[in-house]
Amino acid sequence: MKEDGKGSAEGLGRERCIIKKIAVYGKGGIGKSVTTSNVSAALADKGYKVCQIGCDPKNDSTRLLLGRICKETVLDKVRVLGDNVQISDIVHQGYGGVTCIEAGGPEPGVGCAGRGIIVALGKLEELDAIGDEDVIIYDVLGDVVCGGFAVPIRENYAQEIYIVTSGEMMALYAANNICKGISRFARRGSVRLGGLILNCRMVAREVELVQEFAKRINARIAAVIPRDGIVQQAEVRRKTVIEYAPESDQAQAYRKLADYMMASTETTIPTPISFDELEELVAEYGSE
């Protein structure tokens, strides 16, 4: 990385007319990749050129867009081909022409997944792998506990961060941790919080709880995504809801979120709360 902080971001499109550079974070299993893929599909249907980059060693971020698990990850190809990796080895076309890239990870039990993201994004920069996309969306694992997973925030690959959460304690805990990272890096860069995405899990007073949480951390709620069995029906068929059930209310919820992301110009620097305050908040809303 260049010391002026421009190296990586320029390599992934800073000098092009990219409209949005977004990263979506959230704890494992919260529905982050499903949400991200449906947003990408919705944007593609609207005519945007979209690139989705999966930053998760499970390399399943783009499964619903490709209709399969992507086995041609950046790190896998680097291990096999070394410096001979070509763009065509790691860039794939998914639903609606979405450009799909999976960073990949180390072999199970060996190496650091966070470090793998650093290597993978560096290789994409080296190859100038991103074309003339309008939107780049990074789908990033977990909360910011590892420097590798913080790269999209720290190195300005993304400028707007969205956090998928629910009203469950650990989902909010992860969201609060991610906000700590955003707040820290916002002091020396342009990264900001675009908002929270409430992926409902039907816990007690969930919407009220997350609304209060958002208020305390200086965040907006970008969307409330209802819980609907059609999401699983689409997932087992390796499709987004946008493709599988385009006329459904659930598809419309994802389209509404996509519209919000593209139209929003209001971002914030979050003010995360203490763990004790978070516990008290969850107990207050969950006990009534």
Catalytic residue (choose from 27, 77, 123, 239): 27
27 is catalytic: yes
DSSP H or E segment with residue 55: strand 50-55
Catalytic residue (choose from 20, 32, 77, 239): 32
58 is catalytic: yes
Q: How far apart are CA 113 and CA 126, in angstroms?
A: 20
Residue 241: what residue type?
Answer: V
Residue 286 CB contacts under 8 Å (≥ 6 apart), including other chains: 203, 204, 205, 209
Burial annotation 156-192 (CB, 10 A radius, 16+ → b, else e): bbbbbbbbbbbbbeebbbbbbbbbbbbbbbbeebebb
Catalytic residue (choose from 56, 76, 89, 143): 143
249 is catalytic: no
Order of all β-strands in the sheet with 92-93: 92-93, 99-102, 50-55, 135-140, 20-25, 160-165, 192-199, 221-225
Catalytic residue (choose from 6, 45, 46, 58): 58
21 is catalytic: no
Q: How far apart are CA 254 and CA 272, in angstroms?
A: 27
Question: Residue 60 in contact with residue 69, Cβ under 8 Å?
Answer: yes
Hey, which residues are catalytic here?
27, 32, 58, 143
